[in-house]
Structure 1
Amino acid sequence: YKLVAVDEGSRRVAHWETGANRILELPALASGEHHVLPETEVYFPELLPRMAGTAIPVFSLRSEGSQGVGDFGDLRRMVDWTAATGQRVLQILPIHDTTLTGENTDSYPYNAISVYAFHPMYVDLRALPALPDARQQAAFDREFRELNALPTIDYARVNKLKRDFLLLSFRAHGRELLKSQAYATFAARHAQWLPAYAAFSALRDKFAIPDFHRWPQHAECDAEAVAATFAAGTAERETYDFYCYVQYLLHTQLSEVTAHARRSGVVLKGDIPIGIARCSVEAWTEPHYFNLNGSAGAPPDAFSLTGQNWGFPTYNWAAMAADGYAWWKRRYFKMAEHFSAYRIDHILG
């Protein structure tokens, strides 16, 4: 026999359970006796919802007021369009920081320098206060309009210009913001990764090279020594604070988009790159989790007959297992702050 699910309204069988038929061997019963069969488990097929949606990179979502590249403000507008057209899912590519040299080669979204930090180019500058110098603001606005009118994204120029604007914004408004309770809450919540990311980014800029093995200082990450270098009042502190300020803006803006998507009934789906950049915060601060002399890739398939070599270091799974895969759990929990679903691209590697 099998168990069935019955529709409450029509009283018709809606679903049959899966698996082999159940077999019941009844004991001998005397007249008037009954046998009660305790069923504790039932196996119905997992009924996954079918939803229509759109997959698009955030950088492609340029709108009329964008600064040459799609940003988190444009992502919010895309959520509105998704809901208005009766769709339920909006899937994007990875949005993590990939800044190594500032050139076009940094545009590959899967070569993340941090598995937690977002790319500075996604800050919606329209949501920030205007610069105190009106002439400077007007000059930026003109150049952003030129970049936004281009048929394709000028990645290097957009990122340089947005960084220049954000640095002036930080000097005008950021220092005060870093004294706020809102920032203190953000910094405490993300204390596990934010200081290391800010230090890595500042050192990359200072030495003009992303390969930490070639840095004249801090080639090996000693947390106490790094903290002393970027202590309050040091010359390097401003750049460190700048990167913390930018991440606060990014996380605040994306959190607003996430809340808006959930209110609108839209599933925001993120993307987790399976690997990390060889020159990344995690490779610098947690090298024991990786085989830095290895290179991840994918076997031959219809897409690539000779296979793929991505260049990412492979994982030291024994080290991962030793602490219960805490590194992966932190990564998943962080993604869940902003996304109702996410894919891992890609597991076959």
Structure 2
Amino acid sequence: MKRSSEEKTKSTVKKSISYADAGVDITSGDRSKQRIKMLARKTFNKQVLSEIGGFGGLFALDLEKFPNPVLVSSADGVGTKLKVAFDLGIHHTVGQDLVNHCVNDIAVQGATPLFFLDYLATGKLEDMVIERVVQGISEACKANGCALIGGETAQMPGFYADGEYDLAGTIIGAVSRDKIITGEQIQIGDVLVGLPSNGLHTNGYSLARKLLFEVAKYGPEQYINELKDKTGAALMRTHRSYLSVIKKLTGADVVSGMAHITGGGITENLPRILPKGMGALVDRASWTVPPLFEHLQQLGNVEEDEMLRTFNMGIGLIAVIPAEKIKKAKAILNRANERHCLIGRIVRGERKVSYN
């Protein structure tokens, strides 16, 4: 006699199957969430109206600080820099990279960061790794005066390799409408002031990893004379925040535009703020390119144009300063002990960067 489908099921299923059997450990996730709450609370201010764990984060905008406010938002990730973090077991700095990158993106438009949301997805949840990542996010949020009010930690077994995760974040900031910096005030003759980067920041890592690990066959812990550092340490230098110096420049009303130099380098990022009919002329000899970029170029015989549109080449932020305000701007930067160099000027022409 044939058995029914119900009888077959009863005979083949020996025990109850849980979510943990499918690879998602809810108990471990709950423990991580408790630690994340503690780290996030360290970033809270009086504008935060909710606890971590709600369906949405609540934040009260200070209308006295931002009359006629405009909200400014940005979302980004850390990219394949995470691969280096996995190899080295260094996880706290990638959280700082993420926050600082997002902070810079809105600060160049005159915005003050208000709050941050993170997204971390992994295959198998490793409590200590997650905690280190969020610790870095928390530290960077606090340093930038930004509240970490929420996020998502997703367990996705089978989607990510063991020991790997992906990381992304969203930042919200505010600026009074009359203080927005878009670049529309840029004029022909304005001076380009470059501020140094702290290495690759968070861009160009796919090419850098190929050149260092595949072409040169360096190990991540190998000391390289040309870099005066270990390969992994050179690659893991933290993406710096320019918020403090940006506030000083904008507070003194000496900038007509600013560009955060990320993926695409100077070549593709500076034109994003140029008005129609204006281009930028950049003097390549005006700053010293850090050894890391020079070594990468040598390893792969990389064309100069390719380097300039892949890496920041040692310039992480460009401030466009009216010629009549350059003396004041330099004084501000000097008082802030901020290294800088005059790297070019705004010229009439196509909305692009030319090099000489």
TM-score by length of 2: 0.24
Indicate the structure (1 or 2) with the bigger Cα radius of gyration: 1
Q: Which protein has the bigger helix share?
A: 1
Higher relative contact order (CA 8 A, sep 6+): 2
Q: Which protein has the bigger strand share?
A: 2
